[in-house]
Amino acid sequence: MPREGHYINRSNWLRAAVLGANDGIVSSASLLVGVSAAGMAHGNVLLTGLAGLTAGALSMAAGEYVSVSAQADVELADLERERVALIEDPDYELSELAEGLENRGVESDLALEVAAQMTDHDALGAHAREELGMFGLAGQADPLQAAGASAVAFALGGGLPLLAALLGPSGVRGLSVALVAMLALVMLGAGGAHLGGAPKWPAIRRVVFWGGLAMAVTAGVGHLFGAIG
């Protein structure tokens, strides 16, 4: 019998990578389309794009590290409170665990018996799962892993529109950036869904719609300021 294929163990780094790549594509392409629409010289467009790419990758890495670290701090603090409670009032904690099992459909007497066995096996782990919704430290995101995945994905995603700005025909450089960005978003949506075992078309529609909207708004702003200038 074939084993079930689950993808939830990928969710931490995959979320950071998809977020980084999406942000890289959209922010870099929007920036390039905007300054191109404003009539900025080609060399300045490339310099602006490179600066945005560098700053964005570093910002994504710092943001992911800080946010994931803050989440880990909260989880560890909750675990410590639960550890103290198990020492100070084990009877209450046992009844609390049994009550939680009852609420999930287990009969009262059986719930108390199961709760006692779970407590004997791993009291803190049982309460972390049942009360806090935490499934062990192995499921927690690694701040460095999330930061690295996000920064690398941002750089790779943002590098595609920048490459299009570098190589695209001078008359339609903004259009070239937009087309490459939209193609990259399609690939990102499909690839992220495939890695997560999710349907591809909803993911593609999401990233294409919001990415296209961001580029359209930025191009409009660029045209406006170009006309004023």
> How does pLDDT run across 30-66, given as a tens digit for each residue?
999 988 888 888 899 999 999 999 999 999 999 989 9
Both tokens of 115, joined, read: 């709760």
Question: Which pLDDT does position 12 carry in this prediction?
Answer: 62
Question: Which pLDDT does position 141 carry in this prediction?
Answer: 67
DSSP 154: H
Both tokens of 20, joined, read: 């980084």
Question: Which pLDDT does position 88 carry in this prediction?
Answer: 92
The domain spans of the chain are 13-66+142-228, 78-139
Counting every residue written for the chain, the total comes to 229
Question: Which pLDDT does position 26 carry in this prediction?
Answer: 93
This model's pTM is above 0.85: no
> Dihedral, CA atoms, 189, 191, 193, 197, nearest 10 degrees?
170
Residues of the chain with pLDDT under 70: 1-13, 135-141, 226-229
3-state DSSP call for residue 193? helix
CB 31 within 8 A of CB 49: yes
Q: What share of the chain is helix, strand, coil (3-state, %, to 5)?
A: 85, 0, 15
Nearest to 59 by CA among 35, 24, 26: 24
Return the residue matching tokens 């046992």.
94
Q: Tell me how far apart the alpha carbons of residues 207 and 59 are, in angstroms, rounded to a whole number.
A: 21
